[in-house]
Structure 1
Amino acid sequence: MELDQTVTSRIFLIRHGATEWSTRGLHTSVTDVPLSAEGEKQVRETKEKFVGPGKLIDPVDVRKVYCSPYQRARKTCEILNFSCDGSYPVVEEHELPKNVGTTSQQTKQVRPIVYTDRLKEWDYGEYEGKTIEEVHELRRQRNQENGGPTWNIWLDGCEGGESPQQVSDRIDSLIREIIRDIDIRDPIPGGKTLPKAKNFVCIAHGHILASLALRWARQPLRNGMRLLMETAGIAVLGFEHDNIDEPAIILSRSPHA
Structure 2
Amino acid sequence: MSDLDAKTPRVFLARHGETEWTKTGQYTGSTDIELTEHGIKQVLSTGSQLVGPGKLIDPVRIAHVWVSPRIRARKTFDLLFRDNTNTNAKYPADSANGNGGQFLEGKVTVTEDIAEWDYGDYEGLLVGEIRAQRKKNGLDQETAWNIWRDGCEGGESAEQITQRLDRLISQIREIQQPCMNGQGPGDVVLVAHGLILRAFMKRWLGYSVDNPLPVMFSPGGIGMLSYKNRDIDEPGFYIGMSLPIQD
Pairwise CA distance, 1:57: 1.1
Deviations 1:215-247 (A, max 9, x none): 100111132434221100111110111211101
Q: 1: distance between equivalents of 2:166 and 2:156?
A: 15
Map 1:145-164; keep pairs closer than 5 Å.
145-146=140-141, 150-164=144-158
Find out whether 1:118 has 2:113 as its counterpart.
yes
Q: 2: distance between equivalents of 1:8 and 1:176?
A: 17
Indicate the SS of the match to 2:210.
helix
Pairwise CA distance, 1:135: 1.0
Q: 2: distance between equivalents of 1:222 and 1:211?
A: 9
Find out whether 1:128 has 2:148 as its counterpart.
no
Indicate the SS of the match to 1:195.
coil
The verdict on how the C-alpha distance between 1:143 and 1:226 changes in structure 2, with shifts beyond 3 A counting, is: farther
Q: 2: distance between equivalents of 1:205 and 1:137?
A: 25
Pairwise CA distance, 1:195: 2.6
Find out whether 1:200 has 2:188 as its counterpart.
yes
Pairwise CA distance, 1:86: 5.2
Find out whether 1:140 has 2:119 as its counterpart.
no
Q: 1: distance between equivalents of 2:105 and 2:175?
A: 13
Tell whether the 8 Å contact from 2:54 to 2:244 is kept in structure 1 after alignment.
Answer: no
Pairwise CA distance, 1:87: 10
Q: 2: distance between equivalents of 1:10 and 1:161?
A: 31
Give every structure 1 segment of 4 or more consecutive aligned residues whose post-TM-superposition deviation is greater than 6 Å: 87-90
Deviations 1:91-141 (A, max 9, x none): 66xx77xx99xxxxxxxx955121111011000111100011111111222
Contiguous gaps of at least 5 residues in structure 1: 1-6, 101-108, 186-193
Map 1:79-94; keep pairs closer than 5 Å.
79-81=79-81, 84-85=85-86
Please tell me whether Structure 1 or Structure 2 has the larger radius of gyration of its CA atoms: 1
- Amino acid in structure 1 at the alignment position of 2:85: C
Q: Which has the higher strand share?
A: 1
Matched residue, 1:169:
163
Deviations 1:179-207 (A, max 9, x none): 0011447xxxxxxxx93212110000011
Q: 1:245 aligns with which of 226, 233, 237?
A: 233
Contiguous gaps of at least 5 residues in structure 2: 1-6
Q: 2: distance between equivalents of 1:219 and 1:137?
A: 29
Pairwise CA distance, 1:21: 1.0
What TM-score do the two structures reach when normalised by structure 2? Answer: 0.84
Matched residue, 1:229:
217
Q: 2: distance between equivalents of 1:89 and 1:33?
A: 18
Q: How many residues align?
A: 230
Matched residue, 2:40:
40
The verdict on how the C-alpha distance between 1:204 and 1:68 changes in structure 2, with shifts beyond 3 A counting, is: same
Tell whether the 8 Å contact from 2:14 to 2:220 is kept in structure 1 after alignment.
Answer: yes
Indicate the SS of the match to 2:25.
coil
What TM-score do the two structures reach when normalised by structure 1? Answer: 0.81
Q: 2: distance between equivalents of 1:87 and 1:196?
A: 24
